């Protein structure tokens, strides 16, 4: 069985279990997958970190389960951030203004990222503008904590 994190076009998130990866595509194409909150059939897969275990080099201690999970999550967050930085438009400190304009149909529909104050983000959320914080940049390899 394969577990997918799913979301509908109204941004409701839920899980789905499928016997094979092709089953999601087939069932989704036929409109058989529905959101449990709003019954929308416009469903997409979310980004998920794979549950993969790896071998260690000879003589190295295997990472603890918590350490392996943390490393996997850090890698997944780095991939999300890299995808956003490569695929979305950077709008700097105009983020709140541009996100609101996109939401209201006054600006082109597209993915954006940038900076916003806590007050700006709170206002966007209160007005129903979908926003999410970008995962932090991964630590630099040559910088010691």
Q: Which tens digits make up the pLDDT trace of 42-98?
A: 999 987 655 555 555 555 555 566 777 888 888 888 888 889 999 999 999 999 999
The per-residue pLDDT of the chain, averaged, comes to 83
Does residue 52 lie in a domain region?
no
State the pLDDT confidence band at 135, using cuts at 50, 70 and 90.
confident
Q: Are residues 121 and 78 in the same domain?
A: yes
Find the domain containing 12 and state its range: 2-45
Is pTM beyond 0.75 here?
no
Please tell me the total count of domains within the chain: 2
Q: Are residues 79 and 39 in the same domain?
A: no
Q: Are residues 78 and 40 in the same domain?
A: no
Does residue 37 lie in a domain region?
yes
In this predicted structure, the answer to whether residue 105 has a pLDDT above a threshold of 90 is yes
In this predicted structure, the answer to whether residue 128 has a pLDDT above a threshold of 70 is yes
Does residue 55 lie in a domain region?
no
DSSP per residue over 61-109, as a string? PPPPHHHHHHHHHHHHHHHHHHHHHHHSEEEETTHHHHHHHHHTTSS--
Does residue 134 lie in a domain region?
no
Q: Are residues 41 and 79 in the same domain?
A: no
């Amino acid at each position: 069985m394969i577990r997918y994190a799913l979301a509908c076009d109204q941004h409701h998130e839920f899980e789905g279990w499928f016997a094979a990866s092709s089953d999601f595509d087939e069932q989704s194409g036929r409109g058989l997958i529905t959101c449990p909150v709003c019954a929308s059939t416009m469903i997409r897969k979310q980004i998920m970190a794979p549950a993969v275990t790896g071998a260690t080099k000879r003589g190295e201690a295997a990472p603890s389960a918590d350490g392996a999970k943390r490393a996997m999550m850090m890698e997944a967050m780095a991939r999300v951030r890299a995808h956003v930085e490569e695929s979305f438009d950077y709008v700097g400190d105009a983020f709140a203004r541009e996100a609101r304009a996109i939401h209201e149909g006054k600006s082109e529909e597209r993915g954006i990222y940038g900076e916003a104050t806590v007050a700006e983000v709170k206002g966007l959320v209160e007005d129903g503008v979908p926003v999410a914080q970008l995962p932090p940049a991964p630590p630099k390899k040559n910088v010691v904590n």
